[in-house]
Structure 1
Amino acid sequence: MTPVILADLDDTIFTTLKSYPDRDPKTLQRVTTAKNGNHSYMCSHRQALLAWLSSGATLLPVTARSLDAFNRVHLDSFREGAIVSNGAMILAPDGSEDLAWSEAIAKKCEKAAATLARAIEELEKAPINIRIHQHMHKGIMLGMTVKSNDETQLGVDLNLRTAEKLFKESFQFSDVQVHRNGNNLAFVPGGVSKKSAVQYLLSIREDLQNRPTVGAGDSLADLPFMELCSMMLVPNNTQNSKKLFS
């Protein structure tokens, strides 16, 4: 009756150097490789927490990271499968893709494809300093992420707030959901979510059933899947902790 821990990764298990402004990176454990050089790290406290979470429990990542970005996480704690791309893909313990789930998700992504393509056109024409990452898998766009190139707090707020406002005004009845957390503005096809992926995974894997579950996450977008669980873990100084204690 050991627990199943369903954990977000970025800003929950590890974080970028923004959380360690006065620390020499050499004193931290680098745990990811980012294509833009903005790697993620763990301090000794986070390392100890991860070791504790993965000891005597089944630890499953539930992350917005694409498959490519997840494969650039250099930790050996995740051996029981994973949910990636905001719930668009489910991986078995051997790393193989759950094809039945992917087929169902592909239909939802196809419905949102035209909206996402038009949104990219509108955002690229707009006078805002952003970059757009499209999350593709087998020719299907599973979603996209918009980030501010100006990573100061003022720049992030201005650019992402403008991008989100532009999208919502242009696509009022959209088949795409928008979630913002820090310098990440995620565009997710309707019907795709971490919550639905967690529900499906717990229903098909007998080894996970009838066990206590713990949901861990920093973002408001994580709360729906966390609410499925027996208990929650919320990192301090995050969207979720501010919601709880503000």
Structure 2
Amino acid sequence: MKPVIYTDLDDTLFTTLKSYRDVDQSSLLRVTTAKNGNHSFMCGHRQSILNWIEAGATLIPVTARSLDAYNRVTLSAVRFVDGAVLNNGALILNPDGSEDMSWSETVQGYCAHATPVLLRLIEALEEAPCDIRIHRHMHGDVMLGMTVKSNDESEKGVLLNLGLAEALVQQRNPRGRVVTHRNGNNLAFVPSGVSKKSAVAYLMENRSDLAGRPSIGAGDSLADLPFMSLCDMLLVPARTQTATKLLA
């Protein structure tokens, strides 16, 4: 049977120039368009690995990217034609690009419970003494979560600013209605009940073309490990958060 690879995107299949400081940049393939100019690229090795994987497997992206950010991945139109999991599991796309409405109806209940907390957190973060930028993730009028990043992207700045943001969450998150995932300069706020794992489990159980097939989970972040645990095998890029943890 042809295997299915459920794969994270950023820092798994491709990454920004920070990971290619010692590589001839003319050899890199740009594969995303970022609004802030911080585009993502693939080196020749990653391109070869993706070509090899694609030749023998079905690829399902499982990403924190919103629909807008996913549409700015130039690989998506030619490589990912079997659907996708977006917004940390809050949105599932069918192979034809349409929204899986059954899943969205389930997720909206979780989002409704989390939205008042998210809005209070945004207000508190905007008043806090931390140098951050906040991105709300909206799908229509539904708030699917948000992401906080430090404007000071030095190691010290990220540690300070995202540390303050996480502390605020602990103080203002009654009943755990919001879950946070942190990886580098990225602090994601996701409604409790929404996850990559639950979305992948839904696909495995409800799509007849995926059910029962051998599966591989690929990801760089500790937040990816739960959905990867549903799979038969794991694929972890070197020098990432998960690789560092596993090899410690």
TM interval, short-chain normalised? over 0.9
Q: Does 1:36 align with 2:36?
A: yes
In structure 2, what is the equivalent of residue 115 of structure 1? 117
| Greater Cα shift, 192-201 or 157-166 | 157-166
Supply the AA of the counterpart residue of 1:213: S
Contact 2:62 2:196 in 1 (8 A): yes
For 1:46 and 1:177, how far apart are their aligned partners in 2?
A: 31
Q: Does 1:193 align with 2:195?
A: yes
In structure 1, what is the equivalent of residue 239 of structure 2? 237
- Which one of 95, 100, 109 corresponds to residue 98 of structure 1? 100
For 2:86 and 2:61, how far apart are their aligned partners in 1?
A: 8
Q: Secondary structure at the match of 1:55?
A: helix
For 1:212 and 1:202, how far apart are their aligned partners in 2?
A: 11
Supply the AA of the counterpart residue of 2:148: V
Matches within 5 A, 1:132-211: 132-171=134-173, 173-211=175-213
Identity value in percent: 63
How many residues are paired up?
A: 246
**Which runs of at least 4 in structure 1 moved beyond 4 Å after TM superposition?**
none
Structure 2: tracts of 5 or more residues without a match? none
In structure 1, what is the equivalent of residue 2 of structure 2? 2
Contact 1:115 1:174 in 2 (8 A): no
- Which one of 129, 132, 137 corresponds to residue 130 of structure 1? 132
1:42-63 CA distance string (max 9 Å, x none): 0000101111111121000000
Q: Secondary structure at the match of 1:229?
A: coil
For 2:175 and 2:160, how far apart are their aligned partners in 1?
A: 24
1:94-134 CA distance string (max 9 Å, x none): 10000010011011101000000000000000010100000
For 2:205 and 2:114, how far apart are their aligned partners in 1?
A: 26
Supply the AA of the counterpart residue of 2:43: C
Contact 1:31 1:41 in 2 (8 A): yes
For 1:133 and 1:233, how far apart are their aligned partners in 2?
A: 29
Q: TM-score, structure 1 length as denominator?
A: 0.98
Supply the AA of the counterpart residue of 2:17: L
Supply the AA of the counterpart residue of 2:197: K
| Greater Cα shift, 85-94 or 172-181 | 172-181
For 1:174 and 1:209, how far apart are their aligned partners in 2?
A: 32
Q: Tell me by how many angstroms 1:24 deviates.
A: 4.2
Structure 1: tracts of 5 or more residues without a match? none
Q: TM-score, structure 2 length as denominator?
A: 0.97
Q: Secondary structure at the match of 1:203?
A: helix
